[in-house]
Chain A
């Protein structure tokens, strides 16, 4: 699951949810600020858009074992 969100830094602005071309990131929670989470990790294209546009620099990309090993 490449994008890993640092919830200490995240303010729940929803930029990553809005931008993800995979429709893989969703917001959850019952009151604001909502919390982003990776709902469809296997559909990530690793394009890096979420990380580039995150205003809090709260996203890092961590590649899964299969991609690093084969």
Chain B
């Protein structure tokens, strides 16, 4: 095992959609960039295999198609989950650049005739979703990042941040194939490690059969929290609807093209339950689906039999852009959207934003800066980015801001931080244990506790009980053993899941109301209470404890 010491302006932890855009943002401002990823950036992260949707207002003429109208939608669907000013800065102001950049790198959002294919779902007042072929988006971004001269550390898992005088000055990690250790001194650090998956019991048996990337395990949020950064919106347990046996995305395509939610007795229940029907906000659709199942009206299906031939052809194609292997799955399972409704189910829970434009994770300001100097965050790891559009816009913004911060530091401020062999050995310790527990044994228990106590039916007593169980389980973290480097990576992921779980429990306990149900549903406080709770629950490290405070959000007249 070798120790590699690197020094750079900007370190980017996580080379998914947000991280590669951050790398471009920093490098195009003249900063030296190192980007690390557990995978290879050409195919890593949530959209490694492809994606088909991007949310945007385009000012094409309709009243709903403006920034003003979009922010009205944000306020209506995401009330109390994000500051409009931050969304304006990290998303709205970056949107034109983002659309232009995607064309520039070779994966445009437009069709061959230059127009956008737009659809509407999830509570939108108009067709904010752009459907596009994003199967080559990550390869294009990887190429662009390398062409800009960024140092790319593929298959390197970062395990901790370096701090000095209260500022973040880089990070450390190991190569998951060689075991080499990396000590990276950086003037600014960007966290772009996605949301947290594999955290809740999985309805499809295998914990890796998740909607979002199962290799995103909250590592960045945990590193940031330990370095003193504030996190917010951690109480929200995001869920969606998925084909029964395969956690493939497709909700927005299916509903956008006219799919109708059908229950066991044959009723199109969303059309009765919500004024927007099937096109209601995602959390409302998930909520009512859970209610149907609980009340004995399952199974639940998505019905596309009525969709016109041309639209159905588009739907089938775009589903394959979003999840490359979904068409194979439908074929092997014997599903045919034209002939019969497809059974769907509520996904596993995950730590992720409560809407498609407000996130969950590292608390950022209008410049994508965290509350600790030298630290920036973007994409699903941050509290004001969500989804593809959030990662592309917010990623680039975080990269630009990190570069400006780094290039502004005087040369005398050059980061330096000695990492001892002892510190490194601590992170590699599970490899040297001959006895102990495999990561999976601990992780399965985390998922069980989270699902039963910090899941869809939350109460004060239940959450407290869950937190006690997590505390008990936590003592076994030091007994995990790894037979190889791959398992070493997984043991570190298990550690991340444990702390994210604790943070979610603490935030869920603190917020004594319900918001965006079922993402935060307190059975003992079932109503949304805007008078007291319109804002963010903020988590910060207070010694060994997780401290909670409240950051109110106010809205101007509209």
Contact = CB atoms under 8 A, between A and B. Distances in A.
Contact of A20 (B39, B209, B213, B329): B39
A28 B541 CA distance: 45
Interface in B19-65: 38-40, 42-45, 48-50
Contact of B206 (A52, A66, A69): A66
Contacts of A18: 40, 154
Contacts of A49: 43, 48-49, 324
Contact of A19 (B43, B245, B248): B43
Interface string A50-69: 01110000000111001111
B204 A43 contact: no
Contact of A68 (B40, B208, B213, B333): B333
A47 B209 contact: no
Contacts of B154: 18
Contacts, number: 97
25 contacts: A19-B39, A19-B42, A20-B43, A21-B45, A21-B48, A21-B215, A23-B176, A42-B208, A43-B208, A43-B214, A45-B209, A45-B214, A45-B215, A48-B50, A48-B324, A48-B325, A51-B324, A52-B50, A62-B332, A63-B246, A63-B332, A66-B206, A67-B245, A68-B329, A70-B204
A69 B343 CA distance: 12
Interface of A: 2, 18-23, 39-40, 42-49, 51-53, 61-63, 66-70
Given A21-B213, A61-B328, 20 more contacts: A19-B43, A21-B38, A21-B48, A23-B39, A23-B177, A23-B489, A45-B209, A45-B215, A46-B209, A46-B329, A51-B324, A51-B325, A52-B49, A53-B43, A63-B329, A63-B332, A66-B205, A66-B245, A67-B329, A68-B332
Nearest to A66: B205
Contacts of A51: 324-325
B107 to A, nearest CB: 14
A67 B48 contact: no
A67 B155 CA distance: 29
9 shortest interchain CB distances as A-B pairs: A48-B324, A47-B49, A21-B39, A49-B43, A67-B245, A48-B325, A19-B43, A48-B49, A46-B325
Interface of B is mostly: loop
Given A21-B48, A40-B486, A45 B333 contact: no
A51 B327 CA distance: 14
Contacts of B209: 45-46, 67
Contacts of B226: none
A18 B333 CA distance: 30
B5 to A, nearest CB: 25
B244 interface: yes
Contact of A21 (B44, B328, B333): B44
A2 B325 contact: yes
A69 B246 CA distance: 10
Nearest to A43: B208
A59 to B, nearest CB: 11
A36 to B, nearest CB: 14
Nearest to B485: A23
Contact of A70 (B214, B245, B328): B245
B486 A23 contact: yes
Nearest to A19: B43
B210 A45 contact: yes
B333 A63 contact: yes
A68 B245 contact: yes
B246 A46 contact: yes
Nearest to B44: A21
A67 B209 CA distance: 9
Contacts of A61: 325, 328
B135 interface: yes
Contacts of A69: 245
A52 B208 contact: no
Contacts of B135: 52
A61 B328 CA distance: 7
Which of A19, A21, A23, A70 has most B Cβ within 10 Å? A21
Given A42-B206, A43-B208, A45-B214, A23 B245 contact: no
Given A63-B332, A68-B333, A19 B40 contact: yes
Contacts of B50: 48, 52
A50 B324 CA distance: 11
Interface in B50-91: 50
B199 to A, nearest CB: 16
Contacts of B38: 21, 23
